[in-house]
Amino acid sequence: MSDLYRSALSARLAKLPPDISLDDSDEDEENDSLGSLPGSGMGPPAMPRTLKSLQKSKPKREPNPAFSPLSASSFFVEAVQVDVPSRHLDVRAYYTPPKFSGGTVMVCHHGAGYSGLSFACVAKEIADLSKGECGLLSVDARRHGKTTSTTENNMEDEDLSVEVLVEDFVEVVQAIFKDPSMATNLLLVGHSMGGSVITRACPILLEKKYKVGGVVVLDVVEGSALDALPHMHGLLNARPEGFDSVEEAVEWHVTTKAIRNPNSARVSIPGIIVSSNSSSLTTPPYIWRTPLRSTAPYWTSWFTGLSKQFLSARTARLLILAGTDRLDKELMIGQMQGKFQMEVVPGVGHMLHEDDPTKLAQILVDFWRRNERLTSRIGVKKVGDL
């Protein structure tokens, strides 16, 4: 982690004030956002503590229809539940298949605390840009979205270690594309935590004879992520515990710039909160589906070894970042050696695929075209091939 990033992180943390009431002088605090804080890879930003204390006494208000949920049916062709008995999971998957035989499917894994719907806007853009030649499959991980456990009494397995998530992902791919010899070409895309999952899943799928045309990691770098972990509990202390309505949850993500695209937030955020079913005055009506603090025991496992795994993937490699001050030493050396392609998306935060789905889709489609269609020509190598 660079000195510049370390200083910026410390300065941001120092700005979090004690629990006092807001007055006009606090407006800058309310409008400030940690959504663009680089490298943490840990999902939604914190909310200043002044706002959190204000939540406890604020009067309830009518939901704002400008932030009402949008249906996933406008972005995917179908939503399905995939039974994966070997993992004791009933997995929710959102799918837009390619329109033509021999097409490619981008298989996407979301970050911690989010769901497969975070790729909704990107899915629609990719279908349009590729004219249906490229499809997209996005899945909800265990303890996320609408994926549920099938164990006795529906008791969920709490384990979110990277090994478990990788096994889940591989089994879901096998359940959907049962015969590797007949399966379509796959391009693996993962955001943050999901980037670690798809990178580790790649060699397993290749060993099982699946055709993997590339791995794409979105806005996570091992060094920066691990350096940011000691600060995460302080940031999470400042997040809201819940919301009065789904609309309020969407609005919070937009106004704090956790997600800078209101349309994307309206389709993705309803999937990451659930009804608390509580009559207690101290419990909000809607709470986080996957409280990030509960995932703390697994943070280190998600990111340790990510750079090495990414650079050793036996396929094309693409790293897409929201800022340039994020490469660790191993990746900087790999980039100078031409081992992977890197793109930087301007004007976005950590949720770059939601903030600017059009730009992200263009990068992904260009990468797909280079590494799936042009490789049939003699002398053209995939990005990252030696």
Residues annotated as catalytic are 192, 219, 350
Closest CA to 323 of 9, 92, 85: 9
Q: How far apart are CA 44 and CA 273, in angstroms?
A: 12
CA 132 to chain CA centroid, nearest Å: 24
- For 180, counting Cβ atoms within 10 Å of its Cβ (0-12 exposed, 13-18 middle, 19+ buried), the class is middle
Alpha helices in the chain (DSSP H): 3-14, 27-31, 49-57, 120-129, 162-176, 193-207, 222-228, 232-237, 246-255, 262-268, 299-303, 306-312, 329-336, 352-355, 357-368
CB 314 within 8 A of CB 386: no
Asked if 192 and 112 count as a contact pair (C-beta separation under 8 A), the reply is yes
Q: Are 286 and 245 in contact (CB under 8 A)?
A: yes
- The phi-psi region of residue 115 (left if phi > 0; otherwise alpha if psi is between -120 and 50; otherwise beta) is beta
Q: Check: CB of residue 215 under 8 Å from CB of residue 315.
A: yes
| DSSP, res 285 | S
Q: What are phi and psi of 194, to 5 degrees?
A: -65, -30
Q: Give the three-state DSSP class for 339.
A: coil
Could you give the C-alpha distances from 51 to 260, 285, 355, in angstroms and in order? Answer: 19, 18, 24
Q: Give the integer Cα–Cα distance in Å for 326 and 345.
A: 13
Contact assessment for residue 259 and residue 354, using Cβ atoms and an 8 Å cutoff: yes
For residues 250 and 245, give the distance between their C-alpha atoms in angstroms, rounded to a whole number.
9
Determine the 3-state secondary structure of 218 from DSSP.
Answer: strand
Dmax (CA) for the chain in angstroms is: 68
